[in-house]
Amino acid sequence: EIVMTQSPGTLSVSPGERVTLSCRASQSVRYNLAWYQQIPGQAPRLLIHGTSTRATGVPGRFSGSGSGTEFTLTISSLQSEDVAVYYCQQYDKWPPLTFGGGTKVEIK
Amino acid sequence: QVQLQESGPGLVKPAETLSLTCTVSGVSISDSYWSWIRQSPGKGLEWIGFGHYSGSTNYDPSLKSRVAISVDTSKNQVSLRLTSVTGADTAVYYCVRSGGVYWYFDLWGHGTLVTVSS
C-alpha cells in the first residue's frame, strides 16, 4: 500500500499570502496525484488531477506541481473561501487508492 | 444537474450489516465507476472500493472480506454492504464517481453519517 504523507498538519496564513502544501508518497506514483478541498461541513471537491490539471471551475490561484514522490499544491493568494482541509490522493498503484491525512488551512 | 444522493440507516448495531444506497441522477450510471469513500469523525478519507455496471468490483484489501458494492442500472443506484460492523466503521460515507480510465474522484455525494452503536 502506498502511504501518502501531508505536511504541515495545519497552516495559518494571512489573506493574500501565498500558501504551499506538501504531499509525499512512500513510493513513486509518477504523475497520478490528485488534490481535493474539503470546506467545513461539506463533501470534498476535486481541485487538481494529473498533478497539475485544474478541475472544471477551479480558480487559477490553485496550482499543482511535482512528480514521483514529492508534490505541492500552491494557492497563490489566499482568499477567505479557501479555508478548508486539503487532501492529496494517489491513483497510480492500487488497490487501495490512498489519501494523505490532510492539511488544514486557516486564516491568521 | 448531476446529483449523487446517499441514503440508509443512520444507526447500525455492532455485528450487524451496514447497507447504503446511492441514487445517481443527471448522468449515465453505466459510463462510470462508482466508489464508496468514508471519513471517520475528525479523520481523513478512506477508499472502500468501487463497482461498475458490468459487475466489475475492486475493494480495499483490509475491508475486502466484509464489503460488497453493486450497481443497478434499472434503478440508477449504487449499493454498499458492509458486514460485521464495529465502532470503527462509524463514519460519513460518500458515494463518488471516477471515470475508469482515471481513478481520481470528480463527483461526490453529500455523504451520510452512519453510527455503529448498540
Phi/psi zone of residue A16: left (φ > 0), alpha (ψ -120 to 50 degrees), beta? Answer: left
Asked if pLDDT for residue B74 goes beyond 80, the answer is yes
* Grid coordinates belonging to B64: 475486502
* Closest partner CB to A46 (pick from B49, B62, B105): B105
pLDDT at B99 over 90: no
Determine contact: B53 vs chain A, CB below 8 A.
no
Q: Return the amino acid letter for B23.
A: T
Condensed to tens digits (0 to 9), the pLDDT of residues B1-53 reads 899 999 999 999 999 999 999 999 999 999 899 999 999 988 899 999 999 99
Query: A30, A106, A41, A43: which is closest to A75 by C-alpha?
Result: A106
> What is residue B43's predicted lDDT score, i.e. its pLDDT?
85
Cis preceding linkage at A59, omega within 30 = no
Task: Mark yes or no for CB contact B94/A99 under 8 Å.
Answer: no
> In chain A, at which residue ranges do the beta strands (DSSP E only) sit?
4-7, 10-13, 19-25, 33-38, 45-49, 53-54, 62-67, 70-75, 84-90, 98-99, 103-107
Distance CA B35, CA B49 (A): 5
pLDDT at B101 over 90: no
Consecutive 10-residue runs of chain A (108 residues): their mean pLDDT? 97 97 98 98 97 97 98 98 98 97 97
Do A89 and B44 lie within an 8 Å CB cutoff? no
Is B105 within 8 Å of chain A by CB?
yes
Assess whether pLDDT exceeds 80 at residue B100: no
In this structure, are residues B60 and B49 in contact, taking their beta carbons and an 8 Å threshold? yes
Least CA distance to A6: which residue of chain B? Answer: B44
Q: Which member of B103, B109, B110 has the closest CB to residue A97?
A: B103
pLDDT band at B73 (very low <50, low <70, confident <90, very high): very high
Instruction: Pick the closest to residue A72 from A9, A20, A1, A37 (CA basis).
Output: A20
Q: Is residue B96's pLDDT more than 80?
A: yes
